[in-house]
Amino acid sequence: MGKTRLDHHRFAMDVVQQEATPFYYYDMDMLHETLDLINQLTEGWPYMVHYAVKANGNPQILKHIAKSGLGADLVSGGEIKAAIEAGFSPRKMTFAGVGKTDWEIRLGLQLGIGCFNVESIPELEAINEIAANMGTVANVALRVNPDIDAHTHKYITTGTADNKFGIGIEILEQVIGQALEMPHIHLRGLHFHIGSQITLMKPFEMLCDTINKLIDKYERHGIHFEIINVGGGLGIDYDHPDQHPIPDLEGYMGTFKRLLQLRPGQELHFELGRAIVGNCGSLISRVTYVKESRNKKFIILDAGMNDLIRPALYEAHHEIQNLTACSASAADTETYDVVGPVCESSDVFSHDCELPVTRRGDIIAIRSAGAYGESMASRYNMRGLVASLFHPQE
């Protein structure tokens, strides 16, 4: 594993206490440690890691990741533009998604991005037609749906036959044949992504077995793939972010090094998002009120589900810490429901959360919010989008 931080007090309290809440707090040292570890693990191997911009598209975060040399995994034209502005190389970009529009395809072709991850025959036909009209050739990888259940939440499982993503293995041969016959398509490889927040290696082991069989099959037909893209999906420790701030990147990449039988000249591509930024970010909020009802005590925060929707959307768990009480080494605890001010019953960050005795004005950290926090924020209830604070500041 990466470095272990036993001191969960990574927050610059003198800075945090002066900021208007709520805001996202990013530990840039942790981000750089994670990026350095990725570069160490991939050095000397034919590997390329693309950062999944959908996890967090904050411009400062993107600039730091681009400087580290990673590529970008993109799912919209807006993300392509943001990646370009942040300094990512177009040749290190992959463009995924089941619903690429014509203008987004044209943008990718104009920039000369490294690869379109294609999810259907109609999409393949559209890219070929648009590339023909532009007088160019599109680099393409076919996204295969391997029908592997990663046993995560149903909303973040992507690799089973019931999901909207990818091309079923049963028609893959047909689609490969069509791609090879299209004059404005260069078939570079195969792409896979089986889900998110996967913390056990077994699904990835199963994926390696599926890929090996496909490589063997098409090699016998004289078809060589330049790229094997295994997507992302590696989870983080939402329960113990201080003990395990960096996910098991060694075990994850080691699984593919050990089991995936790459051929000479093949590159292995990864698309990691949450694993890179998840634990470096926290949502910082202040306690507006502590309310007691007949059966419950509520901590009402000035942050709401519009700022961090994962608990309401996925019933996701985030570790919650009272930074004010921790600073005072408070020993007494109470059990609370931690909620926001949004006019929805689902605006709950945690049920039955044991915390130090909490009072109005205390500062609360909702941990592991660096991925799918700020990027999924909205202005519901006409609330403003929250600011971001980076530490150490540049």
For 374-390, the pLDDT digits (tens) are 999 999 999 999 999 99
Is 91 inside a domain boundary? Answer: yes
* C-beta separation of 196 from 152 below 8 A: yes
Q: How many domains does the chain have?
A: 2
Helix pair angle (169-181, 202-220), 10° resolution:
50
Q: What CATH code is carried by the domain that includes residue 288?
A: 2.40.37.10
Verify that 219 and 292 share a domain, yes or no: no
Look at 4-18, 138-152, 174-188 and tell me which has the smallest mean pLDDT.
4-18
Residue 278 CA to its chain's centroid (Å): 8
Q: What is the pLDDT of residues 229-247, one digit of tens each?
A: 999 999 999 999 999 999 9
Residue 3: per-residue pLDDT:
36
% of the chain surpassing 90 pLDDT: 87
Q: Could you tell me if 296 and 202 lie in one domain? A: no
Tokens of 152: 């995560």
In a domain, 93, yes or no: yes
Q: Where are the alpha helices (DSSP H) in 87-144?
A: 102-111, 121-134
Cα–Cα distance, 252 to 332 (Å, whole number): 40
* Residue where one domain finishes, among candidates 277, 302, 328: 277
Residue 4 lies in a domain: no
3-state secondary structure of 246: coil
Please indicate, yes or no, whether residues 98 and 233 belong to a single structural domain of this protein: yes
Q: What is the CATH number of the domain that holds 84?
A: 3.20.20.10
Tell whether 15 is covered by a domain. Answer: no
End-to-end alpha-carbon separation of the chain, Å? 28
| Last residue of one domain, picked from the residues 277, 294, 322 | 277
In angstroms, the CA 388 to CA 58 distance is: 9
CA-CA-CA-CA dihedral for 175, 181, 184, 189, to nearest 10: 50
pTM of the model: 0.93
Question: In terms of domains, do 137 and 41 share one?
Answer: yes
Last residue of a domain, one of 216, 242, 277: 277
- Which domain, by its residues, includes 306? 279-391
* Pair 263, 333 in one domain: no
How would you class 360 by CB atoms within 10 Å of its CB: exposed for 0-12, middle for 13-18, buried for 19 or more?
exposed
